[in-house]
Structures are given as C-alpha cells and as structure tokens.
C-alpha cells in the first residue's frame, strides 16, 4: 500500500500545488507528504516537482505522470467500492460542513438517523456561514447555498430553495411596507446583510416584471451569522432576505411578514461539494444520498406561502 499512498499524495500535491495543503487533505504531516514524494521520485527515477522556497511546480515528467496516476487511483477505488458494497458495512469518519441555517435545520436533525443506519460511520459536523476551504481543511463534504467558486471540486445539486424578503410587524408599522424594489435602495428602509470575508452576494436579486434585477442594499447591521440576522429582524431592526425554510415558522406565526411578494428573490441553489474522486468512497456516497433525500423532503414540506 505504500506505493499507492505515495501516488495519492503526489496527485493531491499536484492538484493543490502546495505540500502543506495536500498533507492536511490526507491528514498526514507535511514531512510525511514530502517523504512520500521523494520515495515516488526515487522509484520512478525522475523529479516530479521543482521545489523552491516559495513555489512547488510540476516538472514535465510530473505532468506526464499525473493522468496515469489518476487512472490508477480511480481503478483501485472503484474496485474497493465494489468489494466494500458486498462484503462489509462502510466504516470510518466523515468530516462534513454546512452553513449554520442548513446545518441546524436540514443536516444535524438527520445525523442520528444516519448513524443508526450506518453504525460504523462517525460524523464530525462543522457549521459556519463563512467560505470554507474544503481540501485545505480536510473536509469530505461541504453543503452550500449559492454558487460555489471552487471549480476543482465535484458538485451535486440537491434543490433550488425559494427565498423570501420579510420583516417584523413592528418594523413595518414604523417604516411602512416597501412598494417597489427601488424602495430598498432609496434609504427609506434598513436591510440586514450577511457579510463575511470573501462574501460574493452584496446585492439582492429580485424577479421583476422586467426580469431579474439586482439591487444594492444597505442597513445598520451586518453579520456573518444568518441566525443573528433573523434575530435582529424579529426585534424590528430591518428587512432580511432568507431561504424560506429558515423562517417558515416565523412566517406561519406572523412574527415575520413577507414584503414585495410581487418581486420575490431569485431561488438559491442548495448542493454539496466533495473532493476529487471521494464520491467513490461508499460512506461519502451514502451520506450524500441520505442527506439529499431528507433535505428534498424537508424543502417540499416547507410552506411556500405565509
């Protein structure tokens, strides 16, 4: 297995362009990763990377070796997946991440059921509304809302989530109901925004009679925690744009009221990302399929009107 481990490390170093990142991805030390590359180079009799103090670039031989190395690993992993599926229950630990709203409402409630169905798989769940570096942080699966930026990862779309603009009755009593989207940008209303370093959505896309338009909005408060924004909205501090499933209970009880229903927000994509080839891992595939089914059921059961 040492030779295969060396090839796995080579592939991740090649793809990530960084020894430390590849080591974290494989949950080994940078020294072990470097030793594996050196062993592979000695075995092949060529240098696979040019190393400097600041850069690590593949040599011509490294570029030639990469496609074949990928085929070797894919063949081995396909064979292992087939054997695993018929000979034993998948086991091990999965490191997964999700935004706070998705994680608390759509992922965490189903983790115990997944564990009951697959008792030899352990789950490590990390919740954060900030952008995550999936390979760099050693994650197996990351659920997301929106459009992922990392094209090197594989993606599975799960559903389109309807969204809603809403505010507390006390806010609307004080500020009035916005009558048109431009009211949000005129300074007459306070909009509560989800912001964090690297956040991409600085505008609210709304479906208008003229098509989808984006409106730059401002407000007195910003946070990198979506649930904090909901709390502020419930206290009457402004208007929020949220996936409907996150605020469905508040809409049902009247603690939040929808606004601009004739110009609703564009639905947001909900999906998951997983690293190159990891969907071949039976436990990763089982988790994604399990959660995708339950997320779809939960979204289908979410009332689409207040």
What gap in Å lies between CA 101 and CA 105, rounded to an integer? 6
Mind listing the pLDDT tens digit for each residue in 218-264? 888 888 888 899 999 999 999 999 999 899 999 999 999 999 999 99
User: What's the rounded mean pLDDT across residues 49-61?
Assistant: 82
Mean residue pLDDT of the chain comes to: 84
The helix/strand/coil state of 208 is strand
| Structural domains in the chain, sorted by start | 2-87 (1.10.10.10), 92-159+269-301 (3.40.190.10), 163-266 (3.40.190.290)
Q: Please determine, for residue 278, whether its predicted confidence score (pLDDT) is greater than 50.
A: no
Neighbouring C-beta atoms of residue 145, cutoff 10 Å: 21
- 105-119, 188-202, 219-233, 278-292: segment of lowest average pLDDT: 188-202
Phi-psi region of 233 (alpha: psi -120 to 50; beta: other; left: phi over 0): alpha
Given this model, what pLDDT does residue 169 score? 97
CB-based contact 62:14 (threshold 8 Å) = yes
Given this model, what pLDDT does residue 196 score? 60
Segment (H or E) for 232:
helix 226-234
Q: Please determine, for residue 129, whether its predicted confidence score (pLDDT) is greater than 70.
A: yes
Given this model, what pLDDT does residue 191 score? 93
Mean pLDDT comparison of 84-88, 220-224, 263-267, highest-scoring range: 263-267
Of 292, 284, 306, 304, the C-alpha closest to 134 is: 284
Given this model, what pLDDT does residue 199 score? 54
* Residues 6 or more apart whose Cβ sits within 8 Å of residue 252: 303, 306
Q: Please determine, for residue 201, whether its predicted confidence score (pLDDT) is greater than 60.
A: no
């Amino acid at each position: 297995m040492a030779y295969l481990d060396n090839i796995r490390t080579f592939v991740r170093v090649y793809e990530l362009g960084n020894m430390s990142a590849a080591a974290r991805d494989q949950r080994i030390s940078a020294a072990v990763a470097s030793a594996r590359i050196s062993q592979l180079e000695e075995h092949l009799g060529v240098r696979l990377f040019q190393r400097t103090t600041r850069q690590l670039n593949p040599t011509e031989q490294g570029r030639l070796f990469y496609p074949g190395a990928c085929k070797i690993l894919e063949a081995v992993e396909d064979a292992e997946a087939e054997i695993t599926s018929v000979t034993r229950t998948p086991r091990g630990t999965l490191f997964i991440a999700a935004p706070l709203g998705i994680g608390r409402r759509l992922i965490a409630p189903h983790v115990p059921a997944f564990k009951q169905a697959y008792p030899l798989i352990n789950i490590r769940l990390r919740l954060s509304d900030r952008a995550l570096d999936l390979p760099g942080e050693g994650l197996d699966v990351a659920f997301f809302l929106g459009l992922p930026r990392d094209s090197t990862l594989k993606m599975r779309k799960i559903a389109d989530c309807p969204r809603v603009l809403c505010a507390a009755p006390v806010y609307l009593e004080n500020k009035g109901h916005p009558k048109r989207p431009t009211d949000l940008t005129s300074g007459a209303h306070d909009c509560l925004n989800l912001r964090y370093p690297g956040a991409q959505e600085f505008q609210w896309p709304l479906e208008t009679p003229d098509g989808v338009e984006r409106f730059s909005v401002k407000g007195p408060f910003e946070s990198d925690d979506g649930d904090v924004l909901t709390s502020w909205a419930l206290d009457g501090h402004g208007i929020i744009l949220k996936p409907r499933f996150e605020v469905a209970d508040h809409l049902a009880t009247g603690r939040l009221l929808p606004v601009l229903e004739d110009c609703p927000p564009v639905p947001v994509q909900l999906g998951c990302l997983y690293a190159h080839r990891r969907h071949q891992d039976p436990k990763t595939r089982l988790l994604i399929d399990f959660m995708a089914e339950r997320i779809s059921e939960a979204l289908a059961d979410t009332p689409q009107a207040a």
